[in-house]
Structure 1
Amino acid sequence: MSEHRPAIEVGDLPVPTDGILVTHFLTVRDVARSRAFYSEVLGGRVALGENPCIVKLSNSWLIMNPGGGPTADKPNISLVDHQPGPTVSSFLNLRVADIQACYERWSSRGATFLTPPIDRGSELRCYMQDPDGYLIEVGQSTGLLVGKLAAT
């Protein structure tokens, strides 16, 4: 039995016409929950619902799938679920034009921020986490635009 895949337009996929195009892959526990967060809360557009899930978020792309064992093209490498906790080794960084508007809109849609936006001198910045606990920085350049560096 063949797997049913939804019809999609080639133009909706992250396929470069020249050079490279950067996408970010997230190993997620529940594809539907993550798809809903990135599309309904953050306003991304779903290009492919599953296997893998592909969401266009502004001018970038997120690819999401559950973890799994080694494959022929990545022998001896397993994708494991993110373990939420007080330490991280990477995070998604979203730069926005109006952080207060994003903070209010995304909060009203269910995003939980660690703090409201804080003025760091060079930028306004706050953090939230997605349903799998991935850290997401949301920032708006302010002082940096006039040469002011972050407060220490």
Structure 2
Amino acid sequence: MRREDLPAPASGILLTHFLTVADVARSRAFYADVLGGEVVLAENPCIVKLANSWLIMNPGGGPTPDKPDVTLHPPADPTRATSFLNIRVADIEQCYRDWSAQGAEFLTPPIDRKAELRCYMRDPDGYLIEVGQATGMLEGIFADPPAGTG
């Protein structure tokens, strides 16, 4: 295994995303087989290199010495989210077709939001994943502000 395959910078920082998953093999297959990631480490923890980032996945569990009051678990309610992955793509229609054919389940097809084309899907644990392609924002056109923000 080469250092550049791991989320281990020689200097500075590198951002990864940790997912607490119910079934490591199932999640690994989704991120590798459906989204085209590269499995760097299969288990303990599972690490998948996806585009220019890494996803680190492990089962949930109770507190540990370095997080004494924290219990990790996959999403309990897929209709409520406090964060989500955001994947930016060059051709959203192609990704939508390819990933749908591989088994990804999208909430809707891509929708034009002025600044971008955007749609959402879920991973096997219910994590929300936004897939977006910059369109209008490249020309200074941005989305309307959220309702009630004025």
Same fold (TM over 0.5): yes
Unpaired runs of at least 5, structure 2: 146-150
Instruction: Give TM-score scaled by structure 1 length.
Output: 0.92
Q: Percent of aligned pairs with the same residue?
A: 68
Secondary structure (helix, strand or coil) at the match of 1:115 reads coil
> Structure 1 regions of 5+ residues with no counterpart?
1-7
CA displacement, residues 82-115 of structure 1 (integer Å, 9 cap, x when unaligned): 1133211110000001101100110010001011
1:109 equivalent to 2:91? Answer no
Specify which of 57, 67, 74 is matched with residue 60 of structure 2.
Answer: 67
Does structure 1 residue 96 correspond to structure 2 residue 89?
yes
Q: TM-score, normalised by structure 2?
A: 0.93
**Aligned-residue CA RMSD (Å):** 1.1
> What residue number does 1:27 align with?
20
Total equivalences in the alignment: 145
Equivalent residue runs for 1:7-46 within 5 Å = 8-46=1-39
Q: Deviations over 1:112-151 (max 9, x none)?
A: 1011000111100000000000000000000000000114
Matched residue, 1:123: 116
Residues 27-58 of structure 1: CA deviation (Å, up to 9, x unaligned): 00000000000000000000000000000000
Q: Contact 2:78/2:127 (CA < 8 Å) preserved in 1?
A: no
Q: Does 1:144 align with 2:137?
A: yes
